[in-house]
Amino acid sequence: MNHIQTINARIEPLRQQIVNHRVYSAIETIEDLRVFMQYHVYAVWDFMSLLKALQNNLTCTSIPWYPKGSAATRYLINEIVVGEESDVDMDGNRKSHFELYLDAMQQAGANTAEITAFLEHLLQNHNLKNAFAVAKTPIAAANFVENTFEVIDSQKPYIQAAVFTFGREDLIPNMFVSIINDLHAHFPSQISIFKYYLERHIEVDGDHHSYLALEMTQQLCEVNEQYWNEAQEAVVKSLEKRIELWDGAYEEIMANKSVLDEH
């Protein structure tokens, strides 16, 4: 069994927990989706941060320029960055996937004030904990982002690449796509951007980028057993945090439903 197969075997139970998480079936209304989005947007944002950490580590992003690392890994990360940071929206305008997600939240009537306050404070003060406090970020979302930034702060590109590859891509279940399609049929004017976002995520991230990211991880870990072991443990932790993130979203959705039932 090669290293990729070993990691896949190790994380398969966690992947199944994510793909079959009860949060998806709990999303029955626009209101439920809004709560989900207010949690998920943090994962969309810190994915971009992890992506840029990889680009910083694998390419020269400072002046004076000099050839850094291998041209092969430079190509792989730059190709992914182009797709994530400057994709197209439904009208053909260039947007990052995070900006596209914010558009989807606004169209659906989800609260974007929290993530906006978080980013504004972080930009000014560069302190995650303070930004979470100011924005009143849900604990599950804060824990998820903190784990991602531990990976970023490790300054180990092989760990960053593994978490990016195994911990973030290709985790959207068909069931969730079906739920969104059903909601879109009833509320097209509120769900169309989110539906498009999911389609782009599956098409770009789950297909093309997955192959590029796998190749990048293999090139960075090579035959170093310690690298592969560290990478695997980081991926496991990342997936555990994703489960906790979905748990948090599920609990808030269900709490809101019970309040509605009482009235």
CB atoms within 10 A of CB 224: 13
Q: Using 50, 70 and 90 to split pLDDT, how confident is the model at 34?
A: very high
pLDDT above 80 for 259: no
| pLDDT for position 91 | 93
**Cα 108 to Cα 101: distance, rounded to the nearest angstrom:** 11
| pLDDT for position 263 | 58
141-196 pLDDT tens trace: 999 999 999 999 999 999 999 999 998 756 777 778 889 999 999 999 999 999 99
Q: Give the residue-averaged pLDDT of 242-253.
A: 97
pLDDT above 70 for 219: yes
Taking a C-beta distance cutoff of 8 angstroms, is the pair 213, 80 a contact?
yes
**Cα 148 to Cα 164: distance, rounded to the nearest angstrom:** 10
Q: Using 50, 70 and 90 to split pLDDT, how confident is the model at 262?
A: low
Taking a C-beta distance cutoff of 8 angstroms, is the pair 194, 103 a contact?
no
Distances (CA, A) of 157 to 44, 58, 93, 219, 241: 20, 7, 32, 11, 20
Taking a C-beta distance cutoff of 8 angstroms, is the pair 96, 21 a contact?
no
pLDDT above 60 for 245: yes
Radius of gyration from C-alpha coordinates of the chain:
19
> Is the preceding peptide bond at 13 cis, omega within 30 degrees of 0?
no
CB within 8 Å of 51: residues ≥ 6 apart: 77, 80, 81, 84, 85, 164
Q: Whole-prediction pTM value? A: 0.94
Percent of the chain scoring above 90 in pLDDT: 79
